[in-house]
């Protein structure tokens, strides 16, 4: 039995969106690490690179990408056909890098991408959605389509301000109870907890509720090394401090009870409603 218990045949995939107010805060590294951790612990996992115009997940995984989501939108490939098997229980749904048309998705196209996952017949326990930074309409649509939202930020003024802006916009439609804040690249557990406490107090003052601490990820040179070598932390540095922190984050996320479905478009919506058994 692994970190998350025995392998299940759940018909309701847990969909976790990983986002940030600004770029360069380590969001994709955390998303990739979460996906590899879930897969290595026996969960059938999808990693969707939803930063469609500047997709980087495949780079961090060292994958070759023959087809991507652009081919699905053009009708040249099915969603199943673009999946890349990274390891036995992990498949990547690749975005595209440097494709201008995918860098500014409108809401209709974003909804089309989300609904496409309902036609995917393979069993899925967990899907990690690596979402572009910022508060564009496509970013917000992707986030609202997830059951849990992870907001990554660093202890820098611009990162904190942009993370607050993202939470503020999300709070118009979602409860903060589905969100988790992750201070990344901090010097100590205490520093991360203080950063969260101050941020959460501001949220409570203006939104009526605080935001949960998903976990603290310490500053760790292995993250940069993993990026340079194009290998996931689980392979390159299984005992690194950052990976241990992200494992703790994965455990908390998986142990969080999911709230009721919203009225918005959601990933695997039909599967969650019908409870269709997939083996």
Q: What is the pLDDT of residues 129-182, one digit of tens each?
A: 999 999 999 999 999 999 999 999 999 999 999 999 999 999 999 999 999 999
The CA distance from 196 to 244, in Å, is 19
Using CA atoms in the order 245, 175, 166, 110, what is the torsion angle rounded to 10 degrees? 100
From first to last of its 279 residues, the chain has per-residue pLDDT tens of 456 654 444 567 999 999 999 999 999 999 999 999 999 999 999 999 998 777 789 889 988 888 988 888 888 999 999 999 999 999 999 987 656 666 678 888 899 899 999 889 899 999 999 999 999 999 999 999 999 999 999 999 999 999 999 999 999 999 999 999 999 999 999 999 999 999 999 999 999 999 999 999 999 999 999 999 999 899 999 999 999 999 999 999 999 988 776 656 889 876 665 554 443
The CA distance from 102 to 48, in Å, is 14
Instruction: Note the CATH number of domain 14-261.
Output: 3.40.50.300
pTM of the model: 0.92
Parallel, antiparallel or unpaired: strands 90-93 and 148-153: unpaired
The CA distance from 37 to 152, in Å, is 18
pLDDT mean across residues, the chain = 89
- Secondary element (H or E) of residue 208: none
Using CA atoms in the order 266, 90, 135, 270, what is the torsion angle rounded to 10 degrees? 0
Query: What's the Cα-to-Cα distance from 36 to each of 81, 86, 112, 130, rounded to whole Å?
Result: 21, 9, 27, 13
The CA distance from 26 to 22, in Å, is 10
The CA distance from 148 to 59, in Å, is 25
The CA distance from 7 to 42, in Å, is 6
Nearest to 54 by CA among 104, 111, 129, 108: 104
Cβ distance 223 to 233 under 8 Å? yes
Phi then psi for residue 187, to 5 deg, are -80, -25
* Residue carrying structure tokens 């986030």: 143
Burial of 61 (0-12, 13-18, 19+ CB in 10 A): buried
Rounded to the nearest 5 percent, the helix, strand and coil shares of the chain are 45, 15, 40
Nearest to 170 by CA among 203, 194, 192, 196: 203
């Amino acid at each position: 039995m692994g970190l998350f218990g025995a392998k299940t045949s759940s018909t309701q995939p847990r969909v976790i969106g990983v986002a940030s107010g600004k770029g360069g805060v380590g969001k994709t590294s955390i998303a990739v690490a979460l996906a590899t951790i879930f897969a290595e612990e026996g969960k059938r996992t999808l990693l969707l690179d939803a930063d469609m115009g500047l997709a980087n997940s495949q780079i961090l995984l060292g994958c070759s990408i023959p087809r991507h989501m652009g081919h699905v939108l053009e009708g040249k490939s099915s969603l199943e056909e673009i999946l890349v098997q990274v390891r036995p229980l992990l498949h990547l749904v690749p975005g595209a890098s440097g494709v201008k048309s995918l860098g500014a998705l409108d809401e209709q196209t974003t909804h089309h991408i989300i609904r496409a996952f309902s036609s995917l017949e393979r069993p899925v326990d967990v899907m990690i959605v690596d979402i572009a930074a910022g508060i564009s309409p496509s970013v917000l649509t992707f986030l609202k389509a997830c059951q849990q939202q992870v907001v990554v930020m660093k202890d820098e003024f611009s990162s904190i301000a942009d993370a607050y802006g993202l939470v503020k916009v999300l709070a118009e439609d979602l409860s903060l109870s589905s969100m988790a804040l992750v201070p990344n690249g901090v010097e100590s557990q205490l520093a991360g907890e203080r950063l969260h406490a101050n941020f959460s107090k501001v949220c409570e003052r203006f939104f009526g509720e605080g935001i949960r601490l998903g976990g603290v990820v310490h500053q760790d040179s292995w993250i940069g090394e993993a990026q340079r070598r194009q290998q996931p932390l689980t392979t390159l540095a299984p005992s690194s401090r950052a990976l241990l922190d992200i494992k703790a984050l994965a455990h908390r996320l998986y142990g969080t009870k999911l709230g009721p479905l919203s009225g918005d478009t959601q990933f695997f919506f039909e599967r969650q409603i019908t409870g269709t058994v997939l083996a």
